[in-house]
Amino acid sequence: MEGIKIGEKCSKYPIIQGGMGVGVSMHKLAGNVSKEGGIGIISIADIGYQEEDFEKNPMKANIRAIGKEIKKAREIAGKDKIIGVNIMVALQNYSEIVKECIRQKIDLIISGAGIPKELPQYVKGTITKIAPIVSSLRCCKLIVSYWIKKYNYVPDMIVIEGPEAGGHLGFKNEELKENSKPKLENITIEVVEYIKGVEKETGKNIPVIVAGGIWNSKDIKKFISLGASGVQMATRFVATEECDASIEFKKAYVNAKNEDIKIINSPVGMPGRALNNKFINKIEQEKNKIDRCYNCIKTCNVKNSPYCITKALINSVKGEVDNGLIFCGSNVGKIKEIVSVHNLMQELVCDL
Q: Is the pLDDT of residue 212 over 90?
A: yes
Residue 217: which pLDDT band, with cuts at 50, 70 and 90?
Answer: very high
According to the model, what pLDDT value does residue 296 have? 78
Q: Is the pLDDT of residue 322 over 80?
A: yes
75-99 pLDDT, tens digit per residue, is 999 989 999 999 999 898 999 999 9
Q: Is the pLDDT of residue 292 over 80?
A: no
Secondary structure of residue 177 in the 3-state scheme: coil
Give one DSSP letter per residue of 185-249, joined into a string: HHHHHHHHHHHHHHHHHH-----EEEESS--SHHHHHHHHHTT-SEEEE-HHHHTBTT-SS-HHH
According to the model, what pLDDT value does residue 168 have? 87
Contact 26, 60 (CB under 8 A): no
According to the model, what pLDDT value does residue 154 have? 98
Q: Is the pLDDT of residue 178 over 90?
A: no
Over pLDDT 90: what percentage of the chain? 83
More reliable by pLDDT, 267 or 102: 102
According to the model, what pLDDT value does residue 175 have? 81
Region of 46 on the Ramachandran plot (φ > 0 left; ψ -120 to 50 alpha; else beta): left
According to the model, what pLDDT value does residue 198 have? 98
Contact 133, 238 (CB under 8 A): no
Q: Is the pLDDT of residue 62 over 80?
A: yes
According to the model, what pLDDT value does residue 305 have? 80
Instruction: Report pTM.
Output: 0.96
Beta bridge partners of residue 265, listed in sequence order: 271
CB atoms within 10 A of CB 267: 23
Q: Is the pLDDT of residue 300 over 90?
A: no
114-143 pLDDT, tens digit per residue, is 899 999 999 999 999 999 999 999 999 999
According to the model, what pLDDT value does residue 244 have? 98
Beta bridge partners of residue 272, listed in sequence order: 168, 264
- Dist CA 347 CA 336 (whole Å): 15
Q: Is the pLDDT of residue 287 over 80?
A: no
Instruction: Give the pLDDT mean for 8-25.
Output: 97
Q: How far is CA 11 from the centre of its chain?
A: 18
Amino acid at 112: G
Residue 33: which pLDDT band, with cuts at 50, 70 and 90?
Answer: very high
- Dist CA 306 CA 284 (whole Å): 8
Q: Is the pLDDT of residue 302 over 80?
A: no
Give one DSSP letter per residue of 75-108, joined into a string: HHH-TTS-EEEEEETTBTTHHHHHHHHHHTT-SE
According to the model, what pLDDT value does residue 345 have? 98
220-247 pLDDT, tens digit per residue, is 999 999 999 999 999 999 999 999 999 9
